[in-house]
Structure 1
Amino acid sequence: MRSITLGEVEITRVVEWQGAFGPARAIVPDAGMEVWKANEELLAPDFWEPDSDRWIGALQTWVLRSGGRTVLVDTGIGNGRERPSTPMFHHRNTDFLGQLAAAGVRPEDVDVVVNTHLHADHVGWNTVGRGPGEWVPTFPNATYLIPAADHARLDPAGGRNLRVDDVALFEDSVAPVVRAGQAVLWEGEHRIDDSLVLEAAPGHTPGSSVLRLGSGGERAVFVGDLLHSPVQLAEPSCNSCFCEDGAQAAATRRRILGRAADERELVVPAHFGGPGAFEVRREASRFAVSGWASYDG
């Protein structure tokens, strides 16, 4: 496990999976080969395999110990899920809870779960199976903070046409924590404690959010899927293939990165491998990495 401390908040990274996922331009389709090649020094080997032209990413959870409480940021894919359109997510079986235990976290220790948005790879360990078709909250004492806009988009009661996988993730990873009375559906802004506050950052999904940390004069921002690759620093108008409102996603990306540069926030994306977090600076209309996070080991 790798940890870093900012002010009074300890941050531990728990990686569910890391590796090459798919073609780079399938993940960030608007960034041409010339952009990847021009930024090869930044991208390879942690974020891009030039020879195979594959995007490298990570599926991970961030454990924050803040104000005497344990907070999880995003919960990965989960085990035993029906995700037929995404083979990598389908019927997985990993030891994620064992990895959490290695980080000193038992399910009953978790006080708050943050889902930055409701995509399948951010909500999976919200629940665990207790029998065929039966899902219960993994963290029995936790409050689950769920963006209201994403909940409304995925709730079958809304009458929308939803993908099979989206119906499944709502039923196995979202609805059970709502039925258990453990969910808070928030919008706009939600303060967790003196050091942590959630803010709406729509575009990737209607309810996408960022979690800002400020403690002891040090700052960070957990940006979820605002970024999938450092190539989006060089070309911040380029969205991932998963962004639902491209124009809004690009505007939000520029706004959040600009503020991070101005306020010296450590940027923590959901899917970056390698060091996993970085300081950012402005370069005209673009952004660049000033330095990568330094972990204790």
Structure 2
Amino acid sequence: MSLKFSVGDLTIHRIIEQETTFLPALDMLPGLTPEVLAENRAWMQESKALDPQDTLILCFQSYVIKTPHHTILVDSCIGNDKPRPQRPKWNMKTDDTYLRGLGAAGFAVEDIDFVMCTHLHVDHVGWNTRLENGRWVPTFPKARYVFGKQEFDYWTEQNAKADVAPFVDSVLPVVEAKRHEVVGNDHQIGDHVRILPTPGHTPGHIAVTMGRGKDDAVFSGDLMHSPIQALYPEMSVKFDVDQAAAATTRRSFLERYCDTDTLCCTAHFPSPSVGKIRRKGSGFVCAAL
């Protein structure tokens, strides 16, 4: 299983926290029918995207990218010590898998210059903070945490109506520590890192593109969760705030990168999670390298 990729002048590391069953495919994908599932069951099981009980298998991971100038972490996964009663595999977790994975890739928490969040869902912000003497503090003490303005404003508004646990324990402590930047979609970091708006899953969801002068790699976040959504781009997950917008965004994204050399680094596809977008019928595949 490959945890390291090189493209252009980037080196990309996958830091896996969990790779495990998540939800039944027919539950998570409201547009999926038993007939379409039956047609796709064999290749999905073969690619470890589906278990024998028709439950989707997802990877929960971060990417750490070394550019010539910076070390950037995209999406900080699930985290430890966080109360997540709806998700037993995430609730009050205390394992060292994530930090051990970071160390195995050759990084200490102090090495990260920027943490970029494609969106502010629970499994993408968890390691933004860690518990220290009963307080949430930034896990990556020297990093600037980059939040898209539309996404940050949306969750600020939601949190004002009723506490949103991941926002309270994994975003606001970063703000209180003054380690954050709230940025527009035109924001760039050096000459290598850009934002690509990809709304639908959440209103301010972004993908992150990297490379000097061209997109050598793109980090797609929750634009798609399972390889079957590449084959059927109109198939949204039930967690998409706007399922129709997510479907439009997904097809547009896949068309944009189809038959290019851009590495598509997905958040949740099963290992190896990274590939190049290729056309297949009226849909697409993320072809492993």
What's the CA shift for 1:87? 2.3
1:284, 1:175 → 2: CA distance? 45
1:218, 1:41 → 2: CA distance? 33
Contact 1:70-1:111 within 8 A present in 2 as well: yes
Q: 2:104 is matched by which residue type in structure 1?
A: A
What's the CA shift for 1:205? 0.4
What's the CA shift for 1:158? 6.7
Which of 101, 106, 109 is the aligned partner of 2:108? Answer: 106
Which of 201, 206, 221 is the aligned partner of 1:204? Answer: 201
Q: 1:86 is matched by which residue type in structure 2?
A: R
2:150, 2:31 → 1: CA distance? 27
**Inter-CA distance 41–171: structure 2 relative to 1 (3 Å threshold):** same
What's the CA shift for 1:106? 0.6
2:117, 2:258 → 1: CA distance? 24
Contact 2:230-2:285 within 8 A present in 1 as well: yes
Corresponding residue SS for 1:199: strand
What's the CA shift for 1:188? 1.8
What's the CA shift for 1:36? 2.5
**Inter-CA distance 243–99: structure 2 relative to 1 (3 Å threshold):** same
**Inter-CA distance 129–44: structure 2 relative to 1 (3 Å threshold):** same
Contact 1:152-1:158 within 8 A present in 2 as well: no
Q: Deviations over 1:144-169 (max 9, x none)?
A: 11122222122268743x4x5xx221
* Matched residues, number: 286
Q: 1:25 is matched by which residue type in structure 2?
A: L
Structure 1 regions of 5+ residues with no counterpart?
none
What's the CA shift for 1:262? 4.9
Q: Structure 2 length as normaliser, TM-score?
A: 0.93
The residue number in structure 2 matching 1:150 is 151
**Inter-CA distance 277–158: structure 2 relative to 1 (3 Å threshold):** closer
The residue number in structure 1 matching 2:181 is 184
Which of 274, 279, 287 is the aligned partner of 1:277? Answer: 274
Q: 1:13 is matched by which residue type in structure 2?
A: R
The residue number in structure 1 matching 2:94 is 93
Contact 1:201-1:252 within 8 A present in 2 as well: yes
Corresponding residue SS for 2:89: helix
The residue number in structure 2 matching 1:228 is 225
Q: 2:111 is matched by which residue type in structure 1?
A: D
The residue number in structure 1 matching 2:131 is 129
1:55, 1:126 → 2: CA distance? 26
Q: Deviations over 1:186-212 (max 9, x none)?
A: 122321222221222111001110011
Q: Deviations over 1:95-128 (max 9, x none)?
A: 1112211111111111010111000000000001
Contact 2:22-2:58 within 8 A present in 1 as well: yes
What's the CA shift for 1:274? 2.0
What's the CA shift for 1:281? 2.1
Q: 2:288 is matched by which residue type in structure 1?
A: W
2:166, 2:262 → 1: CA distance? 32
Q: Structure 1 length as normaliser, TM-score?
A: 0.90
Q: Aligned-pair RMSD on alpha carbons?
A: 1.9
The residue number in structure 2 matching 1:63 is 64
**Inter-CA distance 184–251: structure 2 relative to 1 (3 Å threshold):** same
1:157, 1:218 → 2: CA distance? 33
Contact 1:204-1:249 within 8 A present in 2 as well: yes
Contact 1:35-1:231 within 8 A present in 2 as well: no
Structure 2 regions of 5+ residues with no counterpart?
none
The residue number in structure 2 matching 1:31 is 32
Contact 2:64-2:74 within 8 A present in 1 as well: yes
Corresponding residue SS for 1:225: helix
